[in-house]
């Protein structure tokens, strides 16, 4: 009994430390805003014939030109500034001059920037030219999975509600949720306490969301099985085990008194009410919050 009480007190302490001060939240907002602008900047160049190394270079230059730092570069030895994950690559793809985008590909571009000490982390999956119906379905399901996860966030909401908003929906669409990689607390550190599972994990910490916490939601969704393998040669590239397609969308959000504030919303997302370059998904955008519009 004592031990349980001790564990609970320790967890509450860690939870409390995840609540950012108003000044820290301002820092997170500035970081998120920059990451959103960077996404729109890179977006312009995501097209057939462009190498992933080119996208990496664009992000690196833009980030340094604005006086900021790419968080991925050198992170646990990661060799580039962004992750680019094509088709069956789930995450952590390494940009390369040998990898050229072509019609029919889907590619996730994952950007993380450190702005005045604060991290902002977001990603989108882009469809290159005409993609198969299956690929489009996967990308749309994944974008909606992220929205559903964000929609579930609010004050005093158990974190497991995010998983519950995502996994049953994804399964109902014939897709699967990757288990090995998750969202995370984010702030002065890239990956902070706590883990944000996108599948309903019986062993997940019973975290309760509080206003001022900042976290990422970043579902990785596969057309086939959820199982993944890491490239043995480069040690980074994560692929689906069965070779099926995988997509991902990510935003950094803050828990507010009423719901969630999307810190990494991009100017184009705010302007068009469209999210994540997925056509046909209409959204209500009020302030920095988005929800799906039924029409």
For ligand MF3, the closer CB: 173 or 230: 230
Give the dihedral sign, CA 84/107/200/15. Answer: positive
Sheet (strand 238-240) strand order: 89-91, 238-240, 228-230
Give residues 247-276 in contact with Co ion (rule: CB under 5 A).
250
Of positions 56, 88, 105, 121, contacts Co ion by CB under 5 A: 121
Mask: binding to Co ion, 167-206, rule CB under 5 A, as x and -? ----------------------------------------
For ligand MF3, the closer CB: 136 or 190: 190
For Co ion, the closer CB: 130 or 185: 185
131, 142 contact by CB (below 8 A)? no
Instruction: Name the DSSP class of 293.
Output: P
Q: How far apart are CA 17 and CA 27, in angstroms?
A: 16
For ligand MF3, the closer CB: 99 or 110: 110
Least CB distance to ligand MF3 at residue 214 (A): 13
Structure tokens that stand for 44 in this block: 């312009």
Give the dihedral sign, CA 290/62/216/116. Answer: negative
Residues that bind ligand MF3 in the complex, under the rule CB under 6 A: 72, 75-76, 78, 83, 92, 110, 112, 121, 216, 218, 250
Of positions 15, 33, 56, 110, contacts Co ion by CB under 5 A: 110
CB under 5 A: which stretch of 49-57, 117-125, 140-148, 172-180 binds Co ion? 117-125
For ligand MF3, the closer CB: 87 or 182: 182
**Closest Cα to residue 58, out of 74, 35, 79, 81?**
81
Structure tokens that stand for 268 in this block: 């184009």
């Amino acid at each position: 009994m004592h031990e349980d009480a001790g564990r609970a007190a320790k967890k509450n302490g860690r939870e409390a430390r995840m609540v950012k001060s108003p000044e820290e939240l301002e820092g997170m907002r500035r970081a998120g805003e920059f990451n959103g602008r960077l996404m729109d900047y890179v977006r312009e160049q995501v097209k057939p014939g462009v190498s992933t190394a080119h996208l990496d270079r664009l992000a690196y230059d833009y980030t340094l030109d604005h006086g900021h730092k790419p968080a991925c570069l050198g992170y646990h030895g990661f060799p580039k500034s962004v992750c680019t994950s094509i088709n069956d690559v789930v995450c952590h793809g390494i940009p390369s001059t040998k990898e050229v985008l072509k019609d029919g590909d889907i590619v996730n571009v994952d950007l993380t920037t450190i702005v005045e000490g604060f991290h902002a982390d977001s990603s989108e999956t882009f469809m290159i030219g005409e993609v198969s119906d299956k690929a489009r379905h996967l990308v749309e399901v994944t974008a909606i999975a992220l929205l559903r996860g964000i929609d579930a966030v609010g004050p005093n909401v158990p974190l497991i509600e995010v998983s519950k908003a995502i996994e049953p929906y994804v399964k109902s669409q014939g897709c699967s949720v990757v288990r090995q990689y998750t969202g995370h607390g984010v702030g002065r550190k890239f990956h902070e306490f706590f883990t944000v599972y996108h599948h309903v994990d019986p062993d997940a910490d019973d975290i309760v969301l509080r206003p001022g916490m900042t976290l990422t939601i970043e579902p990785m969704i596969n057309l086939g099985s959820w199982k993944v393998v890491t490239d043995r040669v480069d040690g980074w590239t994560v692929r689906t085990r069965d070779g099926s397609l995988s997509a991902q969308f990510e935003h950094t959000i803050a828990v507010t008194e009423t719901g969630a504030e999307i810190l990494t919303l991009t100017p184009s997302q705010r302007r068009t009410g469209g999210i994540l370059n997925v056509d046909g998904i209409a959204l209500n955008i009020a302030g920095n919050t988005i929800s799906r519009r039924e029409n």
